[in-house]
Amino acid sequence: MDSKDIAASVCFIIALLSTTLAGTCPPKCRCESATAKVLCRNKNILKWNNRIEKNTTVVDLRNNKFTTCPALSQYKNLQTVILSNNLLTSVNQTCFNESAVLKHLDLSYNKLTTIPNMTGGAEVRTLNLTANQILELKTIAIYGLSQLRVLILDNNGLAIFSGEELLQHDDRLEVLSLRNNNIKCFCSDLNARLFSSAISLRELYVSNNTLVERNSKWLIGASNLKVLDLRAAYCSFNYSVENADEGWEFPGHSESLFSLDLSQNRLHTFGLGAFSGCKNLKSVNLTNCSLAEFQPGQLEDIKKVNYLYIDHNSISNITPTLFFGLSELKVLSMEQNKLHSSTLSELYLGNMHDLETINFKNNNIKNLDFLDKVSFNNLSTLLLDNNQLSRIRNLNKFTSLKVVSLRNNSLNFIPNINKLTKLERVNLAQNNISVLDFDNFWLTSSSVTINLTGNKITTVKRGLLNTLSDYQTTWSVNLMDNPLRCLCSEKWFKEETQRLEYNSSLLRLYENIRFDCPGANDMFFNISYALEKTECLFIHRDVLIVLGCIILLLVCCAILAIGMTMGKRLERRQRTNTGGGRMQTDSEKKLASDFNEKRTDHSPSFMVAEKDQHLKDAISLSNLKGSMVRLDNENLKPFFREIYV
């Protein structure tokens, strides 16, 4: 072997070794070389000794049966490791290369009892430990996680904090999620200093816990907090007049806070300066907090709020100046309270120039007089379902309205909204409207959906269709569950539908409408096209019932006629068999007897001739008597049998 062959062999061996060392795709896995991913999901893998490409950045091993951390310490390019839904009991710094920067490490749904200690190991940015068995939380730095940005500890049963401070000044934790645990107090040895150095913390989620103290300043230090989720975070408080002044107060001071969720807490009331530490709030959710009233000035510290939700409480009285100063408010929602018209009539809303949505559903409002004093140029949604409104007279002033919902009130007429050129949806279902009259709609937008289900509409106002023909409109009208009567016989209705045949107006009706007259659907509204001149079609259920009765009567008559015909035939046959009811005479009996005697004494040819002669005699005899002769069947059978032989 010369030197060239030796060199070629060495090169081949080196190439083979490098390929082997570089690794291949493990069995049961799928590898994506273009994205440097190794995907081994749902394979019931117990151990991991496989080699993979050194440039791999993503390893997905979710839904397997690992009890110990797989050997991934050789791969310094790893960025995402997913080990959720396994049987891991411990993870430490030896699992990963110390030079790796894990942007996402998912260890959720395992059996870990402590946070992994990554001291001297890989740098972790996001750590998901949801649904493990971690009951105690120590200072984050102890775990070597000073570079951690996001820590998720939901559903762990966490209840104890060790150490004076959860975070240090140089910790970079921005998002901490502690949902669905058993936290009663953010304190250690009764010292509420856990967040005193949490200057980097931006989002804190503590929903569904059991916090006891509602006015403890446990959040002091988190001065840069932006989002605080305290939904269902507090225990129920025994509220009484004696402790009314001990209402909830914001547990710290954060002028950067813009979202606060306190929903589903039985707080009953707030302290006077409850929101004094968060003057830049943009969204406040006080839904289902067992609130009965607000004291004057309780909302004056949140003048920059855009979204205010006070739904599902028991508020009946509001001080006139409660919302005074909330000039940047866009959404005001007080659904499911006990508001009255008298309460709202004195309410001052005049400075809310940016208001876009008013939601006062499920209250006791009888009129909208409180809107007379305001002018909301940007109001686009008005929700007043399930109240006691009987009249509405001032909606035209809100020219930006797109959605108006007045379901389940006491309206007798369609309200005047003919200047709302941007209108898209109107819900007037379940009111007391009896006449279909669109005079108050004609100047609205060219495309609008109108819900009039469950009213008392029986007829259409005369001239309605003539007016419609002058506009280029495309409307959808739902008149289900209305007692509409047929207009087919109305002369004016036929004339107006003829006019609509030559324009582009469309008035579409939903297909599930129930009428109290035949032909109303086809005559009044054509489902897919413009109103056209059509003939009344009997399609209503009452007409079908009448037609069914007529058909049933005809069938019964036919059956009766058939029965009578068959009876007559049967009677005629019986009369034929009995000779018309006449007894045999002696001559007939003698003729039959002679016939029987002779048929046994003569030859077949003679018998045929003789029997033929007897038959002629019998027929002649019968004709003479004016009736048919009854011939004995037993006697005639042999006769006819021999004749046809």
- Say what the pLDDT of residue 113 is: 95
pTM over 0.75: no
The answer to whether residue 599 is domain-embedded is: yes
311 CB contacts (<8 Å, ≥6 apart)?
Answer: 287, 288, 333, 334, 335, 336, 337, 359
* pLDDT computed for residue 331 by the predictor: 97
What per-residue confidence (pLDDT) applies to 14?
Answer: 41
Q: What is the Cα–Cα distance from 58 to 35, expressed in whole angstroms?
A: 8
Nearest residue to 195 (alpha-carbon basis) of 161, 229, 227: 161
pLDDT at 382: 97
**637 falls within a domain:** yes
- pLDDT at position 134, please? 96
Helices and strands (H and E) in the chain: how many: 9, 27
Task: Please answer whether residues 243 and 266 qualify as being in contact, where contact means their C-beta atoms are separated by less than 8 angstroms.
Answer: no
DSSP track, 171-207: ----EEE--SS----S-BTTB--TTTT-TT--EEE--
Q: Is 602 inside a domain boundary?
A: yes
* Cα–Cα distance for residue pair 593/634, rounded to 1 Å: 12
The reply to whether 640 falls in a domain is yes
Q: Is 19 helix (H, G, I), strand (E, B) or coil?
A: helix
Residues 6+ apart with CB under 8 A from 183: 158, 159, 206, 209, 210, 211
Q: What are phi and psi of 609, to 5 degrees?
A: -65, -40
- In which domain, by residue range, is 595 found? 587-645
Q: Are strands 37-39 and 30-32 parallel, antiparallel or unpaired?
A: antiparallel
Which residues contact residue 621 at a Cβ distance below 8 angstroms, ignoring those fewer than 6 apart?
587, 588, 591, 629
Asked whether residue 574 is domain-assigned, the answer is no
Structure tokens at 444: 């609205």
Number of domains in the chain: 1
Q: Consecutive 10-residue runs of the chain (645 residues): their mean pLDDT?
A: 50 42 74 92 86 92 94 92 96 91 96 92 95 93 91 95 83 95 84 84 95 82 92 71 60 88 90 82 95 87 95 92 92 96 86 93 93 88 96 89 96 88 92 83 70 86 62 71 67 58 48 44 39 36 75 90 86 70 54 55 49 53 44 47 44
Select from 392, 393, 333, 385 the least CA-distant residue to 364: 385
| pLDDT at residue 400, as a whole number | 93
| Residue 353 domain-assigned (yes or no) | no
User: Is residue 530, in this structure, part of any structural domain at all?
Assistant: no
Q: Is residue 633 part of a domain?
A: yes
pLDDT of residue 447: 77
